[in-house]
Structure 1
Amino acid sequence: MRARFQLPDDASLRIRSNLPAKSHLPLDQPVSIESLLSDYVELQDPATRPQIHLLATFTTCPPEHEQLLSLASDDPEHVARYREVILTPRVSLLDVLETYPSCALPFNIFLEMLSPLRPRYYSISSSALADPRHCTATVGVVEGPARSGRGLYHGACACYLATTEAGATVSALIQAPSTPFRPPAEPLTPVIMVGPGTGVAP
């Protein structure tokens, strides 16, 4: 990515906003490119049709320009094509930029197009009866070939936790479920448990 935007490996920058609204980006403070792209924005979301249309405005090669406009078109045939080649395989904004090298999208516009990094939710997999001051979360590391066919997919939070050294501090919050869950008072009551995620947390 740094090569795509001609950014040095150790580049840092300071972001200023022209809008009064709050931003998910760190404003008016030095931040490294690595931290900015790792801690604040989603990089693996599939590119949207409005985003692709904007990319077309920065694309100088006529055939590439037309291809991008076609993917962003409201025509039903082109919408189906967008779903087939972008949405279903989850082709990201950066993937599209790599596919169309004549798109001279400025880095600041690229940042504005990215969604804020979303929190990842995990169930507590330990019991307060064992230790009320200690809890665990069971996390499955998601890695494998990207559905887009471009490189490998790495789950953002799972891979971050897997590579974090023991004893390190991570940012987290504990949130009570909106629908309270309580097991039956009678411990012998049969219970069907469904684990749609990792599958072992209660």
Structure 2
Amino acid sequence: MGFFSWLLVVVADLLLFVWSSFLLWLSNIFIVPFRNVEMLWILVPVYLGMVLSEIFQEKHGTSMGNAISNSVVVFWGGIDFLRITVNSVLRNGFVLFDTVKLAIALAIIAYGIIILVAGLMAKTAIKRYARIRVVSYCIIIFAPIYYSVGTLNWSYLFGAALFFPIFYGFMELFDKFLPDPAAFRLDNEAAIGGKDRFDSDTSYSRTNEPFPQQSSL
């Protein structure tokens, strides 16, 4: 077999792997959740919370308060994953795959704690990595392996990482083309009006701020 023939085979195998990973990724998001009714108890609130937050709170970005609140989503999801894994070990004994599941669950819990702590420290960087679409994706994409309707392998992990920008971009387009709801406009107008009144208050001095501004990460 010549070099170009070998290269063609490698490229074909790579494209096939990417395509199969993409199909698996789509299945994990849109099809697999309906194979286990119990899994819907955690995914339905996650999906609904994400959509409503995108429409009414994070349509044009998130705030520090929203980002801190989002830590609860990922933290509780990680706790649920940890609960399922521990119960499985107690019932069926420990297997090597449980190590991976425990590691993912603990990483998700740590992610939630990092968001919460960074928010309490007023680190503005959390507005980038703690948006509702990001924390929700962590729960949505890994839930199938904990509810025994998905098999964790390299294709699974590859798809979860590589195609996350597609998920993120879809939510961005969703926000862009959806008209601003009346409640969102009213909140923005109230916030802008409050800022104008605040800035025009000559009796206010920044030296009286109870909490000094913190630098971002």
What range is the shorter-chain TM-score in? 0.3 to 0.5
More strand as a share of residues = 1
Q: TM-score, normalised by structure 1?
A: 0.33
Q: Which has the higher contact order (CA 8 A, sep 6+)?
A: 2
Higher helix share: 2
Give the TM-score normalised by the residue count of structure 2: 0.31
